[in-house]
Structure 1
Amino acid sequence: MNQHPELEVGAEDEPRPRRRDKEASKKAILEAGVEVFSLHGYDAATTKMIAATAGLNEQLITRYFGGKAGLLLAALSAYIDEEAQNEGYPDAADSVEGEIRQFLLHRHRRLLELQDFMKVFMPFSMRDGDIRGQLETIVFKGAERVLERLTDLQARGLIRADANLEAVGLAIGGQSMHISFHLRVGTTLDDRYLRTLIDEFARTLARGLAPTP
């Protein structure tokens, strides 16, 4: 009996990859899962296809993730962790409009990078409660940053005191997903026009948040 199944590939006549430790194997499977799910969709993807792409034994998917559904959730969880640690967020802006705009543009670039990934998981929000809850985390997690910035601007008197900033932050997070994912993949609008929508949304929302003269 092979003591190192992670060294095996699906077929005996295929070359065996170099030794991988557990974490490296899990990472390879996660990356292969996202790739195969993106190309074929979750339903058509098989663990055999994922294992072949990763260059690892198919049994490792069950061992590490409990099967295809577990791998899907693990990939989503890894994305949430990556999003929480995402660097490159811009410094604070001097205006409410500027803060909202730069958040939306930052997320616009990020969602372009993750477009294929999100195509895989978004349909499951319609039919799976667990995944729907995690997708809500993805949509609104980034709003924590803009909420913190808007709170500082409110303390400086640049936002009316009665504004519900928690609701505003969630609205901005949802609008980000709508413009930068749904409209990007579901319409023929080009990137220049989507950025125009971001500018107009930031401008209009900032006016609504302004203190009453």
Structure 2
Amino acid sequence: MPQLIDFILHIDEHLVTIVNQFGNSTYLVLFLMIFIETGVVILPFLPGDSLLFAASALAANQAFNLNIWLLLAVFFAAAVLGDSVNYEIGKRVGLAASNNSFFGRFLDQQKLNKAEAFFNKHGGKTIAIARFMPFIRTFAPFISGGSHMNYRKFIHYNVLGGFLWVALCCTAGYFFGNIPVVQDNFSLVVLGIIGISLLPIIVTYCRGRLNRKPESL
């Protein structure tokens, strides 16, 4: 865990090492990192937002042989394919989640029934918005698959959310990542990105707690 935290906070330095070591194969490494974060439901803690930002910042620096347009394509493909695989995993194990020793910790049949009703009403919006929320973006496609959300509806918002997520994070990294004050305080920038991403979750949690208090009185 300490190594993971160090990697996230100093991802810019680690990316330089990856680029120098792997050369053109860096695109494959970055593809796999985003694909695993979005596609493997048990690994929701990988640094997706900060990775997109840092890689795009390197692409803006001519000292590194990274093409921003190729990065955009690689990240977009990884995000869409990862969520699609996650959807299929949820679809195949979702109905048996309550009997599964691992997935049963997160989902049971009652939760799946509620999730199915929720995604039928708000599913598309949830898939697109969840892209900008760490952890949530990993479980959203899994739950949508487990609740048998219509795949055409899912892929539509999957593509939309993936495009917006990659475009915004990469644009921010490309144009702001090489500003001296950002480079000198990159760890703080990464923490800021994580904090902003988690803000909607925190607000939703606080609202839920406040709404429960009157009922308990």
Q: Shared fold (TM-score greater than 0.5)?
A: no
TM-score by length of 1: 0.35
Larger Rg: 1
TM-score normalised by length of structure 2: 0.34
Higher relative contact order (CA 8 A, sep 6+): 2
More helix by share: 2
